[in-house]
Structure 1
Amino acid sequence: MEPDPATDRVAIRASESRIEFFLAGAFSLLVGGTLAYVHHLFAPIVPPSPLWGWTIFTTLVVASMIGLPLSVYLLKPDDATVVRVFAPLGKVVAVLFDLAVASSVWALLPYASEALQLLMVVFYAATISGQVISTAEAIENIVFGVVSIFGSAAIFFLLNPSPYSTPLALFLVAFGTLMVGVAIVLKVAIRSAIAARLRAEAASKDLTAALAEVNKARNSKTRIIAAATHDLRQPLQAAALFFNRVAADAGIEQTDAVARARLAFDEAADLLDRLLDQLRLDSGVIVPAAEQLDLSDLLGRICDETTPICAASGFVLRCVPGQYHATGDPHLVLRVLRNLIHNAVRHSRGTRLLIGARRAGPMVRVYVIDDGRGIPAGHSESMFVEFAGEGPDWSTGNGSGLGLPSSRRMAQLMGGQLEHDARWRRGAAFYLQLPGAS
């Protein structure tokens, strides 16, 4: 979405005004307390008429300084209203406040001692400093305040000579110039910070919308592919059953063509299973049900299940389960081990396969080791990249590239890990690491 410069300017100016109103409200409370103190100091020495006239006028201005931010807080106007209505009102109130403070120079200082005059100079300096902090954006207001307050005080001291008159006048001029410079720097910094925040918020909204669209498209695609994959499995399974029935009736169970056809059916079914696993992982529907596992029983089951498959492919399977317990989801553990055994049978070109367990600190590792060609150096992590291929002959891109990545994600869901043990040199060794259990 292309930014609108006019809209951005309004938003920046409104943000500046809201900040100013908040700071001005807090500053007004301090000014109100100072006003009461100044009235108390000058009450014994200033005639009632000028003193109360100044006090009442300044009180009304301070009340408006408190009421304006409060109305913004309660009404919560939009950016355009803030810029069009409240910001100009804020400038008018700031001018009235500067006039009120400047009038104190002529209403109060003529009756004050030198010590009290110096105290009032401190009050003027604090007033301008507070105005710079609370209304840094309105440079013209700050310049007006410096000229009206510091200018009046400087002229007063020059018209009433004393040992401190000239130094005080020079101090007021220099300090006022410094405050204007500080206000300019603050204005640039505040405006830049607000603009950066608005850009970040706009970018965050755009990113959130884009991610929502991506997730929606991904979820739709996932549902479509999952449905298609599920629908493909049914005719494939039916074809495999019909083929086995025809082969049995024809008495050709042992021919090479029949064995290859059965292998093709098994490969297609396994590929669909892996694709479904990947889709379930992507959609987040796989939630592991952790429980304490007797690995001796679990590995015995997987060995009994896969021994015929290994034998049909010329592998001798040996199972050494040991007496170990771990924590995990039995269905996911079996799925991971089936994937590892399937990869070894399909890709290793070996003749022997070992499944065993051992403890590794607080964890338990279940190993699947073959005596085949092994994994080329430098490919220990590449094998776990989706669609990179899983076969040891990486130049041919063998494998779908789904089994190992999906298996690792299942292991991580159970609080474990799936790794290739690169130290094993006589074939390939993979292990599923799970949290141990007593």
Structure 2
Amino acid sequence: MGPLNGIKVIDMTTVLMGPYATQALGDYGADVIKVESPDGDVTRQIGPTRHPGMGPVFLNTNRSKRSICLDLKKPAGRDAVLRLIRTADVLVYNVRPQAMARLQLGYDVVAKINPRLIYAGVFGFGQDGPYAAKPAYDDLIQGATALPALMAQTSEDGVPRYVPNALVDRIVGLTAVGAICASLVHRDRTGQGQRVDIPMFETMASFVMGDHMGGLTYDPPLDKGGYARHLSRDRRPYKTSDGYICVIVYNDKQWESFFAATGRADLRDDPRFASFAGRAGNIDHVYAELARILETKSTAEWMDILTHADIPVMPMHDLESLLSDPHMVATDRFPVVDHPTEGKIRSMKVSANWSETPVETPRLAPRLGEHSAEVLREAGYSGDEIAAMVRDGVTRTAASR
């Protein structure tokens, strides 16, 4: 049933950041009702598909939800979503607040009909600064919070690049889950809902600078910032004689074990290796030497040697080999399941485990409007009213498509 069983969430989000957050809430047991436009979430169109509108990005960001299709630009569509909001615990949106105001769905409106509602917005920028109305996307926020600049410092060609992952959307989405759950705790203690904003720029600025503030922490600054170990060019997967391997030798005990396992007792007397402070002050030299040593044996040999020496080591996977990692296989992290319309698909288990409120197999991602009639009936609409809404283009059902 999950720890959030009994919590009703109105999901007015699209693309990735908001849907990723609401998927987590659904995975944790909440009843998540995804409100989609007649065209559906654009991520339905991304990637290879067996059937139109059911792409892999959508499938992997919208499980544990029900889908209702509503045209919010029509008065009847707006009235329907307001009726859903009346009995909801949480509303999540990821357009700019100005867009919600234009739809007449701002917090000042919905709080009057449901004072217990948690009204959560995930969007680009805090509303008390000059960027309040600016649009934002993952790539833009990566650039604005120095990630490409840091990537350039560690690359041989010095070219800034984005991280090849929707890092911002997922980090901000997870931050939103925590903020929403905290707001629910407050609501349960006081009976009072509230508006909570989770801005991308501010969230990621803290995320990045938590590592890289460095000497900029002090006033006046002691340096230009940056965590030297993270910025070392040899902090990377290391080349072996036949591939790559991921190794981190960090504390004194691990380095002692590494000296013994590799027969490099000579390094024990080198002040650049002998202490944590020495290694930190000479990290580029330390990692470069580590890279040279690891090139001398095969990946399998190093996996065996370093595992027996209790030195942190992992294989470097690609997207395909990750699925067959023995730990992932043993824990059935990516089970193949039967989707009602898409046939066999590879799903992803919820990573958290609860002793008292375990989560069940999540509801698989819905077709556009799959639950429109069901949700409207729950909200009190009659069969004739639902049929009229379909006829007038206010809603669509899977059958009407």
Larger radius of gyration: 1
Q: The TM-score by the shorter chain falls in which range?
A: under 0.3
TM-score, with structure 2 as normaliser: 0.17
Return the structure number with greater relative CO, CA threshold 8 A, min gap 6.
2
Q: TM-score, normalised by structure 1?
A: 0.16
